[in-house]
Structure 1
């Protein structure tokens, strides 16, 4: 039987009415076979009993004979076809993964769907997709790549396929919506709007990439500022160390205090910089995430999914405006000067005390020590002068830089003012041109009105002249008739 079934094809066991394998096959008196339900329903809906194949008409409904041979062969063929389908599907088809769209017809192990039907609202694997590829009734169904949530592709109001996009309301609609709620709206096919939105997503992705690059450059700028600040701090520390190395315990104590002060300022600046960097890195991660989502959405072939997700992904996520944000190195100016001044004041007290004791005790101190103290103070004073000169120089340089920036800003503002003046002049010229055109049009319309009025007056005069002429003719006719009657009157009366 298996060898015989190999020689048989599916067409030999198809009912000509339902185009499916026979179910309860029966034979008509003319010898043709049909499903019992199919031929019964066909005759119930027809006026006369007629064979669908040979068109033979039966005066009375004939008795149907069960065809056991075809019934057994059809059952065996159906069983063998199912076995072949199951074996081929198990060997060739892939089992549905969590990221794949599963077949809605498979029972037990769900296979990966190859297509989704927009008419049946189901997804099919290779085996269950076969009827849509072979049967004429199902071939007309619209198949797309497998997608989930097919019910979401139907209009909730009209239960029709969402295949249009309303630009006025920015929503997907069906054909019936165009004659009801969206009548006279600007409506385009989904694919056309999909292409436009996909292009906009590409622009959005490019903008996000530019934002990422700007923030990466800002991080480099902040890190560079930190490095420069560290260099400045090191230089200040080294200068302070050089100043206080020659001093004794009080000088060393002042040196330590100076170092702590400078480092504390640096730590505060670094903490601020680290906060900015952390915030920038967080924004970059969010932008990269949005970029990935936009890239995935732009590569999606699912029109509806793209349009539904377009509003939420078209714009970049909210970020901070970093154009005016910068990390300014802490000002170390005056730190060393204040420390040295304080040290000088601290040292001046012992000097006064020593001199007072020398005067009181009249003890002659060593000239070398006095010279040493004097030389030390002189050296400190010279260093203070140098530091003050450097501070003044830096202030002058900064003021010059600020003045230069102010000049540039003033030039930019003046250019903007000139542009605005140019635009205002252009607007005035346009207004004058429009007013002249309006005047010319008014004059033309007035001339046309005058011509029309003159023509109307002329027609009225002509009509009145014609009417007066008709009146004269009618009066003349009346007179002639009266004269004719007067002449006929005596002639009629004379024979009497």
Structure 2
């Protein structure tokens, strides 16, 4: 007798990949893939180019060949009441193909009645699936409550941290404004002091230089007078006529 897994595998061959249900009037394309006739027709109505939904091969013409053998297989699978969308039932033991009815507390796994009597689970503790599920729900509820409380505490801590961060930023911003203001005032004071010192320096410079420049003008005038006398003496010394030379010498002595 075929196992449930074998029947399930056989049923998969009779499933249309478009509607995921057993074939109805299965049609074979030129590429070899099969689809329900209505499924492939509707698929092509939405497209400009006829392509295979599985391999994307293009077909210039809509050639559909009815696959009667596949249709019969799909009908038989439908009559066996197999679920076309269930590839492998997880409610049956993989080893014995029996329905899973017990929960082994020792190994923490679902088992069937045959597994219960095997050497692998000898002296283990078992619970009905419903009771094991209820126990797990109680555990999960306890964990959920604990996590809810922890979440509340963490949220409160998060809010406190956010408030502290906001306070630090506000204090920093206020301090920055204060520092900028103070340095601006200091800059203004220093600028005024700089202007005052420069003004005092110019005044002191003028006070010192004024008599020095006056003295320099007198020296320059005296120098000009001496140079003028030297020029005249030099001119007299160059005189060749002795009479004129003596005459100018006597005149100069009188002056």
Q: TM-score, normalised by structure 2?
A: 0.40
| Larger Rg computed on CA atoms | 2
Structure possessing the higher relative contact order (Cα contacts under 8 Å, 6 or more residues apart) = 2
The structure richer in helix per residue is 1
Q: State the TM-score, normalizing by the size of structure 1.
A: 0.22
